[in-house]
Structures are given as C-alpha cells and as structure tokens.
Copies of this chain bind each other. A is one copy, B any other.
C-alpha cells in the first residue's frame, strides 16, 4: 500500500460482512492466499488510496535469485502470523474496552511508523467496521468511545480522534 487505507472482509452465509483487517500505508495486502491463488478476503478502499501491485510469481522468482529477499519474505509472513495470533488473544480474553484501547494504540503505532501523528489522526473506518473487526456491535464501540472520552483518555469528534493519555490507555490493556 502506498497511501490511503483499506479494509479486508469476508461475507458469511447470511450476507453479513465481518472485517478481517485494516491496511495503512506501507503495509501488505493479500498475505493470505499467497501461492494458493485463492483469497478468502475481499478488500475495499476506505478513501482515495494508491497501491503498488506486486505479481507474486515474479516476486517468487526474484526471491529465488536473491536469498536475502527470500529471507525477508519469510520474515514478513512469520510476522503476519504472529500478528494474527495476537488478534486471537485480543478476541478471546479481552473486554470491549480493552479491545478498543488496544485497537486505538495499534493504529497509533502504525501511523507513527509512517511518520504520521501517533496521537491525532482520522479514523478511516466507520464505527461499524471497528465493531466487526473487534467482535463488538456498533453501539458498544460508540459507548466505549464515549466512555474513554469521559475519562479524559481520548477526544473523539466523528472520525477525528486524539489520544490524550496513552499511558492510561496502555494501563487498560496492561491490567490483563
């Protein structure tokens, strides 16, 4: 990904969506389905965005010539797996507030990585998207946001968000 933002999702039998991940600049879309050619996820842009397409077969050939690229690529896939397992932990043992705090801090550090403000940014996704990602309903996400704001940890105005007290946000998760 070059710029903008995307979400990946899967549709279940009843036609309802479930968000499997968000993508910010510098990140890689489509790590699942690598080499298998079948992708479980659909992906849509959440705003005007730009990407750089990398044909896997070419990358594969190239990494066969360049051991360091091969190694790097293995490392990337390994990290992707680790990341997915962290989500597993998040969903299986965190409360709604812990999940939301973790989500916000995650976005923060991902924005920081591309030199955006880690404390003040626009949420590219809807509350509903966040809920589907975290396994919560829209209403719960909204309530948690309101709650965190009331505690003075964040400041939200529609899509604008500012993390006022990162330390306390971390503490919410840290208790766990």
Contact = CB atoms under 8 A, between A and B. Distances in A.
Given A13-B174, A176-B14, A31 B81 contact: yes
Interface stretch (A45-53, A86-94, A103-111, A155-163): A86-94
A35 B74 contact: yes
The number of times this chain is found in the oligomer is: 2
Given A18-B93, A64-B67, A71-B60, A32 B78 contact: yes
Interface in A45-85: 60, 63-64, 67, 70-75, 77-82, 84-85
A79 B35 CA distance: 9
A85 B176 contact: no
Interface string A151-176: 00000000000000000000000111
Interface of A: 10, 12-14, 18, 20-21, 31-36, 40-41, 60, 63-64, 67, 70-75, 77-82, 84-89, 91-93, 132-135, 174-176
